[in-house]
Amino acid sequence: MKKNIRILIIVSILGLIALSFIQAYLINNTYKLEKDVFLEETKRTISRFDDDMPIMDSIYDRMFSHLLLKISDYKLNRIDKTELLGEVPKVRDSVNELFINAYQDEFKRRGVQYPLEYQKRLKSLIILDSLKNDTLYFEFVDNKKTFLLGKSFEAHNDYAINNSQVRTDYERDYVEDGVSKVLSYNFQLVTEDYINIDGWKGIVLGRMTSVLVLSILIFSLVIGLLYYSIKSLITQKKIAEVKTDFINNITHELKTPLATLSLSTKMLKKEEVKAQQTIVESTINTIDRQTNRLQKLIDQVLNNSLGYQDIELVKEEVVISDYLNTVLDDFQLSVKNDNVNIQRNIMTDSASAILDKFYFTTGLFNILENAVKYNAGNVDIDFTADLENDLKISITDNGIGISEHNQKQLFEKFYRVGNKEVHDVKGLGLGLYYTNQIVIAHQGKITIESAEGEGAIFTITIPIHKNQ
Ligand code: ADP
């Protein structure tokens, strides 16, 4: 049974882990899909935004003519390649502000609601020649990004939206050594447009809110149900074990008086026994004792099973010291054992408390009886009663003690510590349960401090009404 539950728990946890992975995979896929949809939408919204913008034409023209002029300078060996490329930022700076303002206005007009940055990046710049092309710039070879226009942003945040290619023939008249000449070349410029959407993650996640919320809810529900099922399974198992233990204990407890009763009645039937008055009397006494014992056992099961809600207290005011001393006197009389020594540390004043004497005494007796029962040698009990704000009673014994692990269930119905040493002692596992219920009915609480082999301290705390 225990093994089955463990396997069930392991399988359920593995199932849950597998489910989490599938869930994570699906959410990730949805995220990617939403992201693509969002980017596609953005691309569509801003596509060819510069087509009908005369200001853009004039900006591109200005850039182009400047570059073409500088390329011709390069062709005429007036400047070198580095100087030529150095012209890109210069011409950009002269027109960029205009460009940025223009595209931002256009984006707004097209209904873009979020911050969107745009950049035109230079991919390649090549002078075409039938014999040998002259590559002035090629992004992958030069291994650096050069942006022509727009906002500067980190390359890892960007999305390419489209590219464009311009091929043009250029001619320029110039004078060399007093002779007028014509320079003509053919060149190709490739650019690519990029966008950077600030906070796109938030926008995409926002679109997924319902999916996310729903999956978190369903997931929590599954975890909750699993936790609840496993917990009830363990509780059921524990209850079943405890009940079996209880049945074994009570059967064991009932067997002895029943066997004695059956033996006694058999004896009384015998003619030779009937003739001897003294044997008859002693047998009747035995029957009486065993009947009483059976009655007591049944009462114990019936009464000690009560929960605190079922306990009807009849409270009265008692002088605490007098009351506790009487309880201890009665207990000492009942144990009839010279090996039990009780050290009393009870306050001597006349403070009083309101409690139900009958129930409270039963609770105290249960603890005191256990101190004697669960002890292998001479019993030393320290009984201390103090008044702070509440009445605090500590009962310390030098018995076999209880491990921390077993203390957790100590006040549960039918619970008995299951080690061999303790099993030799008779009991039904109801005493501490009932004591706890009585203390709760008095709005108090009971605690235990103990370690295996080192005795135990039971402390009861209940509210009182002090005598003024
Ligand atoms: P019972 O004594 O009938 O078994 P209780 O509810 O009184 O039932 O006690 C529950 C269990 O707690 C006992 O079986 C015993 O193992 C353990 N126990 C109780 N009191 C003590 C004690 N003073 N020292 C050691 N073990 C104790």
Which pLDDT belongs to residue 468? 37
Q: Is 455 in the pocket of ligand 1 (CB under 6 A)?
A: no
Q: Is 427 in the pocket of ligand 1 (CB under 6 A)?
A: yes
Reported as a single tens digit per residue, the pLDDT across 357-403 is 989 999 999 999 999 999 988 999 999 999 988 999 999 999 999 99
Q: Is 318 in the pocket of ligand 1 (CB under 6 A)?
A: no
Task: Tell me: pLDDT of 467 over 50.
Answer: no
Task: Tell me: pLDDT of 339 over 90.
Answer: no
Q: Is 416 in the pocket of ligand 1 (CB under 6 A)?
A: yes
Q: Is 246 in the pocket of ligand 1 (CB under 6 A)?
A: no
Which pLDDT belongs to residue 108? 92
Percentage with pLDDT > 70 across the chain: 97
Helices (H), 76-124: 81-109
State mean pLDDT over 436-447: 95
State the closest ligand 1 atom to the C-alpha of 433, by its place in the atom list counted from 1. Answer: 6
d(CA 249, CA 418): 12
Q: Is 410 in the pocket of ligand 1 (CB under 6 A)?
A: yes
Residue in 192, 146, 194, 190 with CA at minimum distance from that of residue 39:
194
The pick from 340, 364, 370, 425 for probing ligand 1's pocket by mutation, whose C-beta has the most ligand atoms within 8 angstroms, reads: 370
Q: Which two tokens stand for residue 175?
A: 């004078």
Q: Is 428 in the pocket of ligand 1 (CB under 6 A)?
A: yes
The band of 159, judged by pLDDT with boundaries at 50, 70 and 90, is confident
The pick from 369, 413, 416 for probing ligand 1's pocket by mutation, whose C-beta has the most ligand atoms within 8 angstroms, reads: 416
Residue in 368, 331, 320, 270 with CA at minimum distance from that of residue 465:
320
State mean pLDDT over 85-111: 92
* 113-128 residues labelled b (16+ CB within 10 A) or e (exposed): eeebbbbbbbbbbbbe
DSSP one-letter code for 362: H
Which pLDDT belongs to residue 242? 78
The band of 50, judged by pLDDT with boundaries at 50, 70 and 90, is confident
